[in-house]
Amino acid sequence: MTRARLFRLSVVLGSVFMILLIIVYWDNVGTAHFYLHTSFSRPHAPGTLPTATQDEDVSDVDEFLEKLLSSGLRQTGPLHRKTEQAPLQGSSKPVLGNLEENVRGYDWSTRVARVSLDQEKLQAERRKTLQEFCANSSFAFPTKERSFDDIPNYELNHLIVDDRHGIIYCYVPKVACTNWKRVMIVLSESLLDQGIPYRQPLDIPREHVHNSSTHLTFNKFWRRYGKFSRHLMKIKLKKYTKFLFVRDPFVRLISAFRSKFELENEEFYRRFAIPMLKLYSNHTSLPTSVSEAFRAGLKVSFSDFIQYLLDPRTEKMAPFNEHWRQVYRLCHPCQIDYDFVGKLETLNEDAAHLLQLLKVDRLLRFPPSYRNRTASSWEEDWFAKIPLAWRQQLYKLYEADFVLFGYPKPENLLKD
Ligand SMILES: *[C@@H]1O[C@H](CO)[C@@H](O)[C@H](O)[C@H]1NC(C)=O
Ligand SMILES: *[C@@H]1O[C@H](CO)[C@@H](O)[C@H](O)[C@H]1NC(C)=O
Ligand SMILES: *[C@@H]1O[C@H](CO)[C@@H](O)[C@H](O)[C@H]1NC(C)=O
Ligand SMILES: *[C@@H]1O[C@H](CO)[C@@H](O)[C@H](O)[C@H]1NC(C)=O
C-alpha cells in the first residue's frame, strides 16, 4: 500500500514539476515580444546596464527581422569587401608626416593608445553629463519626458544610417556637418560617381552632400519597412555606434547668422530675411532678389535675427529652421543613448578618435576645414548691441543645449 502511495505521490510531483517547467518556458518566450515594445523607450539610467536576458531576446527577433528584410539591408557583399581595400594606398598619400615617423621608428602605437585613453575619459564625462541631466527630474525642457516611440517620424530626419559599418550620425547644421555627411557618404557608399562610390570625402560636391535623397535617414524607414520600421530603428539604435557633434549654442547662432544672412543666400533671403525686415525693421516693400537687397543696403541685423528667435509667432508658423533649431530637438539626446559626443571646439582630436573607434581610420581621414570659423571670443562683440533682457530670454530658449552638452552658462552676457 505505502509503496503504491509513494508511487502516486511521485507521479503527481513529477507532473507538477513538468507543468512548472512549461510555464517558465512560455513565460520566457512571451517576454521576448514584451521587451521589444518597451525596453528602448528611454536610455538606461547611469550605472545600470541592459541585462543579458534583454539582449538575447532582442537578438532572436533581430535575426528574424534581418532575414526578413535582408534584401533592402544587406549591402556588405563580397564586392564591397574587395573595394574596401582599395583606398588604403590613397589614404596614406596626404599624410607623408606619419610615413616619415614610421620609417624613423617612431613608436606610433603607444602614442595612439595614450591619446585614446584621454579621449575615452573625455567621452565618459560628456556621456555622464548627458545621462545625469536626462535622468534629473528637476531639470526640465520641452519633449524631455517623451519616449522614443512618441517622436514622430519627421523629427527623425537628422539621423543618418550607415548599415555597412553600423553607424548612426545625427547631423547638426553649423557643426562641421557638411564634412561628417561626406564621411557618411563614403562609408555607406550611398553616392556613385560614374558608377563608382566616392572614396575621398572632399571629392563629393557640396550640393550632393546636402541633398537629402543622398542619405538613408530614419524618417525614410516608414516608407521602406512599414510597420517594422520602429522595431528596426530600435535594433539599429541598440547595435550601431551613434554619434553627434555639438558646439556652444550661442556661437552656433552667430555662425548660422553669418552664413545665412551676411552672405547672399537667395533661399534664406526669401524665406526668412524678407519677413524679418518687414516685422522688425518696418520695411514695407523689399526687392525680390538678395543681390538687389544687398546693393540697397537692406540686410537683416543680428538684432533682427534674435528678435525673430524670441518672437512667439515664429514657432507658431513653423518649427525653427534646422540651422537654429536646438540640438535637443534635432537629435533627441535623452531618447537616444549616444556613444560619442563630439564638439566642434575639439574637432580634430574628436574626429581622429571617433574614426578610430568606428574602425574606419584606415579607410579615410576627416577633411580639414579651411573656412573662417566663428570664434567663441567674438561672442561679446556680437551680443554687445542685444538688450540684456533678450539675451536672458535667448539663454532660456537654448538652456537645454548648454546644460546637456556641458557648455558653461555665459554669465558675462547674462548680467549687467
Ligand atoms: C538636477 O538639476 C537641478 C536643476 O538644474 C540641479 O540644481 C541639481 O543639482 C541636479 N541634481 C543632480 C543630482 O545632478
Ligand atoms: C537630389 O538628388 C536627386 C537624385 O539624385 C535628384 O533627383 C534631385 O533633383 C536632387 N535635388 C536637388 C535639390 O538637387
Ligand atoms: C516701426 O513702426 C512702429 C509703428 O508704426 C514704431 O512703433 C516702431 O518704433 C518702428 N520701429 C522701428 C525699428 O523703426
Ligand atoms: C573672418 O571673419 C571675420 C568676421 O566675419 C573677419 O573679421 C575676419 O577678418 C575673417 N578672417 C579671415 C581670415 O578671413
The answer, yes or no, to whether residue 108 has pLDDT greater than 70, is: no
Measuring from each residue's beta carbon to the nearest atom of ligand 3, which residues come in under 6 Å?
A: 281-282
Confidence of residue 3 (pLDDT cuts 50, 70, 90): confident
17-23 contacts: CB < 8 A, separation 24 or more? Answer: none
pTM: 0.76
Averaged confidence pLDDT in the chain: 83
Separation of CA 211 and ligand 2 centre (Å)? 6
pLDDT (0 to 100) of residue 175: 96
Cβ neighbours, 10 Å, residue 285: 5
Hey, is 83 helix, strand or coil?
helix
Distance CA 242, CA 104 (A): 37
Separation of CA 284 and ligand 3 centre (Å)? 12
Measuring from each residue's beta carbon to the nearest atom of ligand 2, which residues come in under 6 Å?
A: 207, 211, 213
The answer, yes or no, to whether residue 396 has pLDDT greater than 60, is: yes
Q: Domain residues of the chain, as ranges? A: 2-68, 80-250+333-357, 257-323+376-414
pLDDT (0 to 100) of residue 20: 62
**Closest ligand 2 atom to Cα of 212:** 1
Separation of CA 120 and ligand 1 centre (Å)? 25
The answer, yes or no, to whether residue 60 has pLDDT greater than 60, is: no
**Closest ligand 1 atom to Cα of 136:** 1
Measuring from each residue's beta carbon to the nearest atom of ligand 1, which residues come in under 6 Å?
A: 132, 136, 138-139
Hey, is 342 helix, strand or coil?
strand
Q: What is the mean pLDDT of residues 12-25?
A: 65
DSSP state of 193: E
Residue 291 amino acid letter: S
pLDDT (0 to 100) of residue 376: 85
How many angstroms separate the Cα of 407 from the Cα of each of 91, 130, 345?
35, 11, 11
Q: What is the pLDDT of residues 242-279, one digit of tens each?
A: 999 999 999 999 999 999 999 999 999 999 999 999 99
Candidate from 191, 193, 213 with most ligand 2 atoms within 8 A of CB, to mutate: 213
Q: Are 93 and 365 in contact (CB under 8 A)?
A: no
Cβ neighbours, 10 Å, residue 257: 21
How many angstroms separate the Cα of 356 from the Cα of each of 19, 101, 115, 245?
52, 19, 11, 16
Separation of CA 94 and ligand 4 centre (Å)? 28
Alpha helices in 136-282 (DSSP H): 177-188, 206-209, 221-225, 229-239, 249-257, 266-268, 274-281
Protein residue closest via CA to atom 10 of ligand 2:
211
Residue bearing cell 521602406: 224
Protein residue closest via CA to atom 10 of ligand 1:
136
pLDDT (0 to 100) of residue 153: 96
Confidence of residue 88 (pLDDT cuts 50, 70, 90): very low
Distance CA 261, CA 309 (A): 14
In the numeric block, which cell numbers belong to residue 43?
A: 536610455
pLDDT (0 to 100) of residue 2: 66
In the numeric block, which cell numbers belong to residue 184?
A: 557618411
Separation of CA 277 and ligand 3 centre (Å)? 12
pLDDT (0 to 100) of residue 369: 79
Q: What is the pLDDT of residues 345-361, one digit of tens each?
A: 999 999 999 999 999 99
Distance CA 111, CA 106 (A): 9
Residue bearing cell 534664406: 268
Confidence of residue 297 (pLDDT cuts 50, 70, 90): very high
Separation of CA 139 and ligand 1 centre (Å)? 6
Protein residue closest via CA to atom 10 of ligand 3:
282
The percentage of residues in the chain with a pLDDT greater than 70, rounded to a whole number, is: 75
Confidence of residue 111 (pLDDT cuts 50, 70, 90): low
Distance CA 316, CA 88 (A): 51
The answer, yes or no, to whether residue 107 has pLDDT greater than 60, is: no
Q: Which residues contact 98 (CB under 8 A, 6 or more apart)?
A: 92, 108
Residue 240 amino acid letter: Y
Protein residue closest via CA to atom 1 of ligand 2:
211
Q: Are 300 and 309 in contact (CB under 8 A)?
A: no
pLDDT (0 to 100) of residue 374: 87
Neighbour-count burial of 115, counting CB atoms closer than 10 A to its CB (0-12 exposed, 13-18 middle, 19+ buried) = middle
Protein residue closest via CA to atom 3 of ligand 3:
282
Neighbour-count burial of 165, counting CB atoms closer than 10 A to its CB (0-12 exposed, 13-18 middle, 19+ buried) = middle
Cβ neighbours, 10 Å, residue 47: 8
Ligand nearest to the CA of 278: 3
pLDDT (0 to 100) of residue 87: 37
Separation of CA 225 and ligand 1 centre (Å)? 41
Neighbour-count burial of 195, counting CB atoms closer than 10 A to its CB (0-12 exposed, 13-18 middle, 19+ buried) = exposed
Distance CA 24, CA 383 (A): 65
Residue 142 amino acid letter: P
pLDDT (0 to 100) of residue 352: 95
Protein residue closest via CA to atom 4 of ligand 1:
139
In the numeric block, which cell numbers belong to residue 354?
A: 571617433
Q: Are 309 and 393 in contact (CB under 8 A)?
A: no
Protein residue closest via CA to atom 2 of ligand 3:
282
pLDDT (0 to 100) of residue 416: 82
Separation of CA 401 and ligand 1 centre (Å)? 15
Q: Which residues contact 65 (CB under 8 A, 6 or more apart)?
A: 228, 231, 232, 235
The answer, yes or no, to whether residue 308 has pLDDT greater than 70, is: yes
Candidate from 207, 211, 214 with most ligand 2 atoms within 8 A of CB, to mutate: 211
Torsion sign across C-alpha atoms 367, 372, 377, 381 = negative
Hey, is 250 helix, strand or coil?
helix
